[in-house]
Chains A and B, each alone.
Chain A
Amino acid sequence: AQKITQTQPGMFVQEKEAVTLDCTYDTSDPSYGLFWYKQPSSGEMIFLIYQGSYDQQNATEGRYSLNFQKARKSANLVISASQLGDSAMYFCAFFRAAGNKLTFGGGTRVLVKP
């Protein structure tokens, strides 16, 4: 079974600064994807960014970028210019193409300080 690990349980970041959230995974599948979701205190899961295993370039979506290092099996999320509204739980998730299955890591709580 795929294993996905987020080693940082919680982080503080100063407003307007960048923050990197770590995510590593373990798989032997050649075709897969990595998702990042944000979960604010209200509880909904909000899709942020996706990286496919065959994508040649790192994914970017506005202030979110994904530092994908395939050989190291890591897919770190970078949030630039942090805002107070970025305070939330962030989950990395591994998508297994065979079976359409999404497995989540344990999450990292981010608190943005003014």
Chain B
Amino acid sequence: EAGVAQSPRYKIIEKRQSVAFWCNPISGHATLYWYQQILGQGPKLLIQFQNNGVVDDSQLPKDRFSAERLKGVDSTLKIQPAKLEDSAVYLCASSSLPRVGSGANVLTFGAGSRLTVL
């Protein structure tokens, strides 16, 4: 099966500019996640969708970050205006819904979008 697709792979912008990242999850995966990974740290969850509804956006800086998942498939993460501290890799992941009585389903990650804010 095709993996999680992300674009662009790299983006360099100046502070106060805007940027958008796109993610196409594995076909049929109901849950989509956006993580922010700052250099040297573990990924931090920004937002989690189930189908096209938001499950958790408690760590999303809503004054500058926004995300949507139209029709429960593709997703876009936007930053406007960007700050220096937004320099990071933005990872998209998807998983299918857990089967009743089973363990967790594995999250499959995309290659990430590396953002540098100057």
Contact = CB atoms under 8 A, between A and B. Distances in A.
Contact of B106 (A6, A35, A43): A35
A50 B45 contact: no
Interface residues of A, number: 24
15 contacts: A6-B42, A33-B104, A35-B106, A43-B89, A44-B109, A45-B91, A47-B106, A47-B108, A91-B42, A100-B95, A100-B98, A100-B104, A102-B45, A102-B93, A104-B42
Nearest to B109: A45
Interface residues of B, number: 28
B89 to A, nearest CB: 6
Interface in A46-65: 47, 50, 52, 55
Contacts of B43: 45, 91, 104
B111 A104 contact: no
